């Protein structure tokens, strides 16, 4: 059989893909609205200084920083995408799902996020008690003051408070000694299920993306179950290039992204100039052969 290829059209598609792949896109960042250390407005300005073309603010379980980010980005060349990173529970693990390009005024999403916030305050009290039981002084008040009135309380605020009180040296030190599973300040917590969260993101017209898949350290068969379930629930993308991935992780999840037909995402997971591995817009680029998820955001207008 002979196939007639429209070469002109083909070259146009290839050129468009190359332009999309060469954009500096950062679809995973945090601000003071969650556990980042700079405001949404400072983050947007930092992204512009770093030559970012498309930026998503994806604070943990909140969209409260988005209006400030949108306002700072308006009138600039930066395309600002409203996003969120939602904590979910799947198979006993806490899996983070990014919701990209979500509608801010979706009532169900807002309600669900405010319930997660309440849960975070209740968890913070339990973390504090667990640390006291391990012989530490009460840290909750200090952690809350670091989180600020606009922020929400998380483990990073405890870590920063413990460093300021000279109880630990740096963030890594606090996490590995106190705040990860099996350590004295880690408490179990019920996040909403993966299914609930994917439904919420889809209903808010967002794109669900699995964040930093290598971080969960799932055995291969469990990872397969997770990815199959994520796809069947309507999951669209997977982070391939991200702050906590090694180059070997990028290679591994490049193959997985192709195998499962997931769109690939790139994000620094930037939290703070002094704490984060990559600055805004400085995570490694996606491997050339992958279909970037921002092509879908563009197509949605
Ligand atoms: P939370 O959502 O309050 O449970 O806190 C999760 C956040 O803690 C992540 O988004 C990271 O910012 C930070 N984090 C988690 N594990 C570590 C770790 N091992 N070292 C440093 N920061 C971590
Ligand atoms: Mn964080
Ligand atoms: Mn995360
Ligand atoms: Mn994150």
pLDDT (tens digit, 9 = 90+) per residue, 204-220?
Answer: 999 999 999 999 999 99
* Its pTM surpasses 0.85: yes
At 25-41, the pLDDT tens digits run 999 999 999 999 999 99
Length of the chain: 301
- How many CA atoms are closer than 13 Å to the CA of 258, on its beta-carbon side? 10
Distance from C-alpha of 236 to C-alpha of 150, rounded to nearest angstrom = 31
pLDDT of residue 17: 81
Provide residues with CB under 6 Å of ligand 1. Answer: 35, 60, 87, 154-156, 171-172, 175, 180, 271
Atom 11, ligand 1: residue with shortest CA distance: 156
Provide the 3-class DSSP secondary structure of residue 176.
Answer: helix
Query: Would you kindly state where each structural domain of the chain is located, as residue ranges?
Result: 25-115+197-299, 117-179
pLDDT of residue 19: 87
Q: Does domain 25-115+197-299 have CATH number 3.20.20.140?
A: yes
Q: Which ligand is nearest to the CA of 61?
A: 1
**Mean pLDDT, to the nearest integer, of 260-268?**
98
Distance from C-alpha of 86 to C-alpha of 39, rounded to nearest angstrom = 19
Ligand 4 centroid – CA 62 distance (Å): 12
Give me the architecture of the 117-179 domain, per CATH.
Answer: Orthogonal Bundle (1.10)
Q: How confident is the model at residue 8 (pLDDT cuts 50, 70, 90)?
A: confident
Ligand 4 centroid – CA 165 distance (Å): 25
pLDDT of residue 4: 67
* Residue of 256, 261, 220, 267 whose CA lies nearest to 98: 267
**Residues whose CB falls within 8 Å of the CB of residue 82, separated by 6 or more in sequence, listed in order:** 56, 57, 63, 66, 69, 70, 101, 102, 103, 104
pLDDT of residue 105: 93
Q: Where are the alpha helices (DSSP H) in the chain?
A: 7-22, 40-49, 66-73, 107-133, 140-147, 155-164, 171-174, 194-203, 220-232, 247-260, 294-299
Ligand 1 centroid – CA 157 distance (Å): 10
pLDDT of residue 299: 59
Q: How confident is the model at residue 298 (pLDDT cuts 50, 70, 90)?
A: low
Q: How confident is the model at residue 295 (pLDDT cuts 50, 70, 90)?
A: very high
Ligand 2 centroid – CA 269 distance (Å): 8
Distance from C-alpha of 71 to C-alpha of 260, rounded to nearest angstrom = 37
Percent of the chain with pLDDT over 70: 97
CA distances from 278 to 114, 153, 218, 294 (A): 30, 23, 24, 20
**Mean pLDDT, to the nearest integer, of 274-279?**
96
């Amino acid at each position: 059989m002979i196939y007639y290829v429209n070469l002109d059209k083909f070259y146009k598609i290839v050129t468009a893909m190359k332009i999309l792949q060469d954009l500096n896109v950062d679809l995973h960042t945090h601000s003071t609205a969650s556990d980042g250390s700079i405001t949404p407005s400072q983050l947007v300005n930092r992204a512009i200084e770093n030559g970012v073309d498309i930026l998503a603010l994806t604070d943990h379980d909140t969209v409260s920083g988005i209006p400030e980010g949108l306002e700072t980005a308006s009138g600039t060349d930066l395309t600002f995408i409203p996003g969120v990173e939602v904590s979910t529970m799947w198979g006993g693990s806490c899996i983070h799902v990014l919701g990209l390009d979500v509608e801010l005024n979706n009532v169900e999403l807002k309600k669900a996020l405010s319930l997660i916030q309440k849960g975070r305050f209740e968890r913070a009290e339990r973390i504090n008690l667990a640390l006291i039981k391990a012989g530490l002084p009460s840290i909750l008040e200090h952690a809350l003051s670091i989180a600020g009135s606009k922020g929400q309380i998380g483990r990073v605020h405890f870590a920063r408070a413990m460093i300021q009180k000279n109880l630990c040296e740096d963030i890594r030190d606090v996490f590995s000694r106190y705040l990860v599973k099996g350590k004295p300040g880690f408490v179990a917590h019920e996040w909403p299920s993966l299914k609930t969260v994917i439904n919420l993101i889809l209903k808010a017209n967002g794109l669900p993306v699995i964040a930093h898949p290598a971080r969960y350290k799932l055995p291969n068969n469990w990872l397969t179950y997770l990815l199959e379930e994520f796809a069947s629930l309507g999951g669209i993308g997977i982070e391939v290039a991200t702050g906590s991935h090694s180059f070997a992780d990028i290679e591994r999840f490049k193959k997985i992204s192709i195998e499962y037909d997931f769109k690939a995402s790139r994000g620094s997971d930037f939290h703070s100039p002094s704490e984060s591995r990559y600055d805004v817009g400085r995570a490694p680029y996606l491997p050339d052969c992958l279909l970037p998820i921002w092509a879908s955001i563009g197509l949605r207008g």
